[in-house]
Amino acid sequence: MQGLIRLIPTSILHNLTMKKIQDYKKFKKFFLKQDPDDLELIRRKYLLYTFSKNSQRIPHYKKFLEKNNFDPKSIKSVEDFMNNLPETDKHNYVFNAERVNDLCVDGDYHNISMLVKSSGHSGRQCYWVRSHKADSFGKVGLTIGLDENFNITNKKTLIINGFILGSWVTGITFSDFASSNCPVINIGANKEEILQTINEIGNQFEQIIITGYPPFVKELVDYGIEIKFPWKKHDINFAVGGEDFPESWRDYIQKITYSEKIRSGFGASDIGILGGIETDDTVYIRRLADTNEKIKKALFGDVEDTPMLFQYPLSLFAYQNKNRELIFTSILPEDAEPMINYNLKDIGGVITYRNMQQILLEFGISRKFNLPLSFLYVVGRKDGSVKFHAFLIYPENIQEAIYKDKNISKFVTGKFHIKNVVSSDHEHKLRIDFELRQGAKKNSKIEQEFSNSICNTLQNVNEGYKLVYNRIGKKAMPLIVLHEFGKFPYQSNIKNKYN
């Protein structure tokens, strides 16, 4: 089969694929039968095909290559692409564009169906565009993920969208994609209205899927306990995203709600919401890694916490660079604003279908994975930022708080560490550790003053945090941990290690 795939021009392969996705059920049946190695070969063909076209057709990218004295014709293989092509990111590429359409194929607005934005920090927003043609593929990809996890095309299903609605990428895009094959009600992060909706019309459906960021799902579940909501009465599952969580969090939510499954997804405003999906296989593997350090190291290298693990779609090409950062390229010819060799600043890696099987076999585990797709894992952020309620909190935001308030700056050395932690009661907290100056002593009063001041500053410099605080109030207050001078546990010989 691979010999035939190599001979068929990519444009013809793509035309055949786009015809097949018009009938979802037939396409899904066809897709699940494909050999994973064949699909990886197709992914690589698409990469070279779309790069060859887009390197000439995107005005701003063409300038980017010229500025870097790089000839796109020198890319003859996927290895050339990964080893030689300059990386792009927000700072060296996106922020330098004069207009949004300069980032689009042919500099054209006509293929744009919607604009979405990232939360930004220090007042800087990024805007990303979508096209109807590319969305048709995204809808099929998301439906396959929902179908494999929750059987939505065979069970009468209602999806309650609890993601934040508006111009952010997740809420509106998820609704658009999911509603192509399943009814969706867009409530947003409103726990009272979600449970009211289930009480009033939940019995008209065989199952309900609630979507949202993990901290909101925890908030919703706790509120349900408070009002004695009859979780057991309904068949309720959860589709979450935007933030990682430990397996104990999944167990907690499932136990309270009697849900069969909680599945997460990976995405970003830069690359779209369909960057990866959890499946029964990824959860099985992650739980193995959680209980076996040797398996965890074989899969993910030296990591402290078990990373989130996903299978990622054919619309993306991803690899790990020399710094262990994930690099993405959108390879659909229909993409209006393709990201090329784009560094999302996430630390992680890619494991092919076959390599994953081989690693597990080394531990005596033989398993055939249902989706014929490669795996992607995410460890954390390279730029020191952390996700809190799905919005990024940057080290610069904390530095702003330190040096804006003399009552903080006079007590600390400037070393700090930020992390999104899940507490013993399964709450997501923004934890910030500080090193105190020599002679300064830690006490609860100083910790509270730090928390108040940093909370106020974050609301001014980070729009995402402000949205979270407006919704959950004091629960968003940072958890401050102070360390005496010389006892800071996050030392680095070169520069501050923020997370």
Amino acid at 175: S
CB 214 within 8 A of CB 249: yes
- Domain housing 440: 388-483
Count how many Cα atoms sit within 13 Å of the Cα of residue 132 in the half-sphere of its side chain.
Answer: 4
**Residue 26: CB partners within 8 Å, gap ≥ 6?**
20
Give CA–CA dist 395/171, Å, rounded: 26
Task: Specify the pLDDT at position 243.
Answer: 86
Residue 499 in domain = no
Count of residues making up the chain: 499
Identity of the amino acid at 255: K
Domain-located, residue 488: no
Instruction: Identify whether 78 is part of a domain.
Output: yes
User: What pLDDT sits at residue 494?
Assistant: 38
134 with 224, same domain: the answer is yes
The pair of three-digit structure tokens given for residue 291, joined into one six-digit string: 């209980």
Rg (Cα) of the chain, in Å, rounded?
23
Same structural domain, 398 and 265? no
Question: Which of 94, 115, 241, 220 is CA-nearest to residue 170?
Answer: 241
- Single-letter residue type at 31: F
Place of tokens 């048709």: 136
**The token pair that represents 131 in the structure block:** 């096209």
d(CA 207, CA 215): 22
375 and 397 assigned to the same domain: no
Q: Are 25 and 135 in the same domain? A: yes
199-202: long-range contacts (C-beta < 8 A, 24 or more apart)? 199/229, 201/158, 202/158, 202/233, 202/234
pTM of the model: 0.86
- How far apart are the C-alpha atoms of 474 and 489, rounded to whole Å? 27
Whether residues 175 and 227 fall in one domain: yes
The reply to whether 406 and 345 lie within a common domain is no
Bridge partners (DSSP) listed for residue 480:
432
Q: Do 149 and 37 belong together in one domain? A: yes
Q: Are 251 and 337 found together in one domain?
A: yes
- Domain check: are 454 and 329 in the same one? no
Give pLDDT tens digits along the chain (499 positions): 777 888 888 989 899 888 899 999 999 999 999 999 999 999 999 999 999 999 999 999 999 999 999 999 999 999 999 999 999 999 999 999 999 999 999 998 888 888 887 755 444 678 888 888 888 888 899 999 999 999 999 999 999 999 988 766 677 888 888 888 899 999 999 999 999 999 999 999 999 999 999 989 998 999 999 999 999 999 999 999 988 888 999 999 999 999 999 999 998 888 888 899 999 999 999 999 999 999 999 999 998 889 999 999 999 999 999 999 999 999 999 999 999 999 999 999 999 999 999 999 999 999 999 999 999 999 988 777 888 988 889 888 888 888 788 888 888 888 899 999 988 888 899 999 998 988 888 888 889 999 999 999 999 888 889 989 999 999 999 999 999 988 888 865 434 555 5
397 assigned to some structural domain: yes
DSSP lists the bridge partners of residue 309 as 377
Q: Which of 145, 141, 134 is nearest to 50 (CA)?
A: 134
User: CA 103 → CA 57, 61, 114, 179, 327, distances in Å?
Assistant: 10, 7, 14, 29, 18
Write the CATH number for 333.
Answer: 3.40.50.12780
Alpha-carbon distances, residue 64 vs 85, 268, 336, 341 (angstroms): 11, 23, 18, 12
* Position 349 in a domain: yes
Give domain status of residue 477, yes or no: yes
- Contact in structure between 340 and 81 (CB atoms under 8 Å): no
Cα–Cα dist 65/72, whole Å:
8
On whether residue 427 sits in a domain, the answer given is yes
Flag whether 148 is in a domain. yes
Question: Between β-strands 391-393 and 386-388, what pairing exists: parallel, antiparallel or unpaired?
Answer: antiparallel
The CA-atom distances, in angstroms, between 470 and each of 118, 192, 396, 474 are: 18, 16, 21, 9
For residues 147 and 16, state if they share a domain.
yes
Instruction: Give the count of domains, the chain.
Output: 2
Same domain, 440 and 368: no
- Please name every residue paired with 325 in a beta bridge, in sequence order, or none if there are none: 347
What pLDDT sits at residue 492? 56
**Contacts of residue 404, Cβ cutoff 8 Å, sequence gap at least 6:** 453, 457
Q: What is the CATH number of the domain that holds 474?
A: 3.30.300.30
- Is the same domain home to 88 and 121? yes
Q: Which residue, 353, 381, 409, sits at the end of a domain? A: 381
**197 and 146 Cβ atoms separated by less than 8 Å:** no
* Final residue of a structural domain among 319, 350, 381: 381
